[in-house]
């Protein structure tokens, strides 16, 4: 069902890798709701993924960009405005990476070069993206910028490793830059703290299936899917959320406010019996 929520709106979507990714599903939903956009990803991710199929399906152009390089981002923003025929209304930052997780380094035994690379890709790239948009005055008033986060930014999930730090940093950048973007240009900036989701990035985390099963049992509404996250993101791109900014919004079936659930209690009392 389409509500035409994004009719006439233009945007940039980062990080669509394959059908499982939240950015991919968001792009499909935006297209359904009448929005137009350019897709962007790092050249290496483009070789791994199937972004060309998404571009064809949604009538979108792809502009390769390494989000850690300011000159790539400047080129991306200029070309996007050219292709779309005007300023930008929405941006989705859906990028995250930890080399320490990939290489199996424990949190207490990190390679700090990997750490630096991880926070550059996962968090500082969000600052760089916003700084380019801000300096080029590329956003329309009441535009919306969204980045994807996870609750490990607030609480300990042992195997989430240094990605937890990256997400905490990402959320802080959203607030700090969001203040200036709001004051100076009437643009809103938020993060969505999503349930654990079986995307390519998510599945790289050790013990991930356990994570998902636990969160499912803890959340009164169950885990939010990638598709549902795309739908939620859409509401933040729409004009219906004009005064929502500087927020980290939990989209997790109620997990973040649940101390313990009946199902989890039962699992433990069974063990005792």
User: 21 a known binding residue?
Assistant: yes
Asked if 162 contacts 136 with a C-beta cutoff of 8 angstroms, the reply is no
From the candidates 134, 160, 169, 179, give the one annotated as an active-site residue.
Answer: 160
- The first and second tokens of residue 64, run together, are 């390769």
From the candidates 107, 134, 150, 232, give the one annotated as an active-site residue.
Answer: 150
d(CA 143, CA 11) in angstroms, rounded, equals 9
Catalytic residue flag (residue 160): yes
d(CA 212, CA 197) in angstroms, rounded, equals 7
- The first and second tokens of residue 216, run together, are 């499912």
Cβ burial 98-125 (10 Å sphere, 16+ → b, else e): bbbbeeebebeebeeebbebbbbbbbbb
Residues across the chain: 273
Catalytic residue flag (residue 250): no
The phi-psi region of residue 194 (left if phi > 0; otherwise alpha if psi is between -120 and 50; otherwise beta) is beta
User: 95 a known binding residue?
Assistant: yes
User: 44 a known binding residue?
Assistant: no
Please give the annotated binding residues for NAD(+), written as ranges. 15, 21-22, 95, 167
Please give the annotated binding residues, written as ranges. 15, 21-22, 95, 167
Catalytically active residues are: 150, 160
């Amino acid at each position: 069902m389409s509500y035409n929520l994004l009719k006439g709106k233009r945007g940039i979507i980062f990080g669509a890798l394959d059908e499982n990714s939240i950015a991919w599903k968001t792009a499909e939903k935006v297209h359904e709701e009448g929005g137009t956009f350019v897709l962007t990803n790092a050249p290496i991710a483009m070789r791994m993924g199937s972004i060309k199929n998404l571009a064809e399906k949604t009538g979108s152009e792809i502009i390769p960009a390494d989000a850690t390089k300011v000159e790539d981002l400047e080129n991306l923003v200029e070309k996007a405005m050219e292709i779309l025929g005007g300023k930008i209304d929405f941006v989705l930052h859906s990028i995250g990476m930890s080399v320490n997780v990939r290489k199996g380094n424990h949190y207490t035994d990190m390679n700090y070069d990997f750490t630096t690379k991880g926070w550059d890709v996962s968090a500082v790239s969000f600052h760089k993206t916003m700084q380019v948009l801000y300096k080029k005055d590329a956003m329309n008033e009441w535009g919306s910028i969204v980045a994807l986060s996870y609750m490990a930014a607030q609480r300990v999930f042992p195997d989430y490793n240094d990605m937890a730090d990256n997400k905490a940093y990402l959320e802080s950048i959203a607030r700090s830059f969001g203040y200036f973007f709001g004051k100076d240009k009437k643009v809103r900036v938020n993060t969505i703290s999503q349930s654990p989701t079986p995307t390519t990035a998510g599945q790289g985390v050790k013990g991930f299936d356990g994570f998902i099963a636990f969160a499912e049992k803890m959340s009164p509404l169950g885990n939010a899917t990638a598709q549902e996250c795309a739908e939620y993101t859409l509401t933040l791109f729409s004009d219906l959320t004009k005064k929502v900014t500087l927020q980290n919004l939990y989209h997790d079936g109620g997990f973040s406010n649940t101390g313990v659930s009946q199902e989890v209690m039962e699992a433990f009392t069974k063990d005792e019996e």
